[in-house]
Amino acid sequence: MALDTIEPSDGGAEPTLGFDPDALRAKYRQERDRRLRPDANGQYVETTGDFRRYVDDPYVEPGFTRAPLTDSVDVVVIGGGFGGLMAAARLREAGVRDIRIIEKGGDFGGAWYWNRYPGAQCDIESYIYLPLLEETGFIPKEKYSFAAEIRAHARRIGEKFDLYKDACFQTQISALKWLEDEKRWLVTTNRDDQVKARYVVMSSGPLNRPKLPGIPGIERFKGHSFHTSRWDYAYTGGNSNGNLEKLADKRVAIIGTGATAIQCVPHLGRGAKHLYVFQRTPSSVDVRGNRPTDPDWVKSLTPGWQKARMDNFNILVTGGRQDVDLVSDGWTDIIRNLVSKAQFRDGPMLAPEELARQLELADFRKMNQIRARVAAIVEDSKSAEALKPWYRQFCKRPTFSDDYLPTFNRPNVTLVDTQGRGVDRVTETGLVFDGVDYPVDCIIFATGFEVGTAYTRRAGFEVYGRGGQTLTDYWSGGLKTLHGFYSAGFPNCFHMGLTQNAFTTNFPHMLDEQARHISEVIVHAGQRQAQTLEPTAEAEAAWGQAIEDNALMNLQYRIDCTPGYYNGEGRAGDGAGLFDGLYGPGPVVFYDLVRAWRADGMMAGLAFG
Q: Which residues make up the interface to ligand NDP (CB under 6 A)?
A: 121-123, 207, 213, 215, 255-261, 263, 278, 280-281, 397, 418, 422-423, 446-449, 564-565
Is the Cβ of residue 397 or residue 458 nearer to ligand NDP in the bound state? 397
Alpha helices in 34-136, H assignment, sequence order? 82-93, 111-114, 126-129, 133-136
User: Which DSSP string corresponds to 120-140?
Assistant: -B-SS-HHHHSTTHHHHT---
Collapsing DSSP to helix, strand or coil, 115 comes out as coil
Smallest distance, ligand NDP to C-beta of residue 147, A: 9
Is the Cβ of residue 263 or residue 499 nearer to ligand NDP in the bound state? 263
Smallest distance, ligand NDP to C-beta of residue 281, A: 3
Q: Which residues 6+ apart lie within 8 Å of 485 measured at CB?
A: 494, 495, 499, 501, 514, 517, 518, 521
- The span from the CA of 60 to the CA of 433, in Å, is 36
**Distance of alpha carbon 603 from the chain centroid:** 30
- The span from the CA of 434 to the CA of 420, in Å, is 12
Smallest distance, ligand NDP to C-beta of residue 355, A: 27
Residues 580, 568 contacting (CB under 8 angstroms): yes
Distances (CA, A) of 469 to 7, 180, 183, 472: 62, 12, 16, 9
Residues 25, 41 contacting (CB under 8 angstroms): no
Is the Cβ of residue 175 or residue 432 nearer to ligand NDP in the bound state? 432
Distances (CA, A) of 280 to 214, 254, 382, 418, 450: 14, 11, 15, 5, 18
Is the Cβ of residue 259 or residue 367 nearer to ligand NDP in the bound state? 259
Is the Cβ of residue 112 or residue 178 nearer to ligand NDP in the bound state? 112
**Residue 448, by phi and psi: left (phi above 0), alpha (psi -120 to 50) or beta?**
left
566 φ, ψ (degrees, to nearest 5) = -65, -35
User: Which DSSP string corresponds to 424-444?
Assistant: -EE-SSEEEETTEEEE-SEEE
- The span from the CA of 290 to the CA of 314, in Å, is 20
DSSP state of 486: B
Is the Cβ of residue 128 or residue 207 nearer to ligand NDP in the bound state? 207
Smallest distance, ligand NDP to C-beta of residue 318, A: 17
- The span from the CA of 139 to the CA of 122, in Å, is 15
Smallest distance, ligand NDP to C-beta of residue 280, A: 3
Smallest distance, ligand NDP to C-beta of residue 395, A: 9
Angle between helices 82-93 and 507-527 (to 10 degrees): 40
Smallest distance, ligand NDP to C-beta of residue 463, A: 25
Q: Residue 362: what residue type?
A: A
Smallest distance, ligand NDP to C-beta of residue 573, A: 18
> Residue 468 CB: number of other CB atoms within 10 A?
9
Is the Cβ of residue 418 or residue 470 nearer to ligand NDP in the bound state? 418
Is the Cβ of residue 563 or residue 605 nearer to ligand NDP in the bound state? 563
Is the Cβ of residue 41 or residue 487 nearer to ligand NDP in the bound state? 41
Smallest distance, ligand NDP to C-beta of residue 215, A: 5
Smallest distance, ligand NDP to C-beta of residue 106, A: 21
Is the Cβ of residue 39 or residue 181 nearer to ligand NDP in the bound state? 39
